[in-house]
Amino acid sequence: MSAPDFLAIGHLTIDLVARRRQLGGAALYAALAASRLGMQTALVTSGAPAELILLSRFPLSVASQPAAQTTTFRNAYKDQSRRQRLLARAAPIVPANIPVQWAVARIVYLAPVAGELGPELLHLFPASLRGIGMQGWMRSWDEHGKIHGIPLPAAGAELTAAAVAFVSAEDLDGAVDLIDRYACHTPCLVVTRGAEGADLYLNGQKHTSPAFSATSVDPTGAGDVFAAAFLVQLSQGADPLVAARFANCAASFVVERRGLAGVPTLDQIQSRLHA
């Protein structure tokens, strides 16, 4: 592939949920969503060869950094909250891992899950619509792999270089004061709230976009599908509030099925939007 329409960057993961082992990762969810929306899509990732080979089943161009192990999380959900442990971590992703011809991708989504990306990556894409998933920069873990939240510096390079920043209310962990601080440093901050929809802060002004009704089976990946759908819509000229409604609709499909099986097609989204 030459320059993709949509480039996602971040670790492939193994997600252990209850007794299930499923392929995942924020970047993979976003990449698959963009592909199903008609984008020529590329993924830059790292993981063990046994998992990397599984990416061949998806319609994605992949540049991978082989690692001794694939980033692995144990996830437990209760009342829409998630507890996680990090059991293994793949290699960092650095500028040298990005194919030169992909530097002019129309949309770039940086989606770290375990601090694997440095903010310098954003500066490789000056002409792209640049989005970031903040989650992977807002985590630390102890020697047992227990995940702890940490605030991202409001004036950090990740925020100031992004056109759109995405963060979940869960990642903020009740620190609502961070929202105003973050919103001051990016043109568009999106706070996803699960079944409550999403709040958009456009140049600091708050707007709310309600969720679509869905029966939640597995919320993994919903925020990243939201992000991909939102960025694709923006790149096609949609108003941010229109893009948010479309993205909420896309995310509603993800929670209804387990793992990547819930990532919807464009036809599915349009049908639900107009129902």
For the chain, the domains span 6-273
Distance between CA 241 and CA 199 in Å, rounded? 10
Query: Per the structure block, which two tokens stand in for 108?
Result: 């770039």
Q: How many C-beta atoms surround the C-beta of residue 152 within 10 A? A: 22
CA 229 to chain centre: 10
Which CATH superfamily is 6-273 part of?
Ribokinase (3.40.1190.20)
* DSSP classification of residue 275: -
Return the closest-CA partner of residue 231 out of 2, 1, 75, 4: 4
Q: What is the average pLDDT score of the chain?
A: 93
Residues 227-274: pLDDT tens digits? Answer: 999 999 999 999 999 999 999 999 999 999 999 999 999 999 999 999
Assign 196 a pLDDT band (cuts: 50, 70, 90). Answer: very high
Determine the straight-line distance between the first and last CA of the chain, rounded to whole angstroms. Answer: 37
Sort 205 into a burial class: Cβ within 10 Å, 0-12 / 13-18 / 19+: exposed
Q: Would you call 26 helix, strand, or coil by DSSP?
A: helix
Helices in 188-265 by DSSP H: which ranges?
222-235, 240-254
Backbone φ and ψ of 243, nearest 5°: -60, -40
User: SS3 of 175, please?
Assistant: coil
* pTM, to two decimals: 0.95
| 18 has a pLDDT exceeding 80 | no
Say if residue 79's pLDDT is above 70.
Answer: no
The per-residue pLDDT for range 32-56, each reduced to its tens digit, is 999 999 999 999 999 999 999 999 9
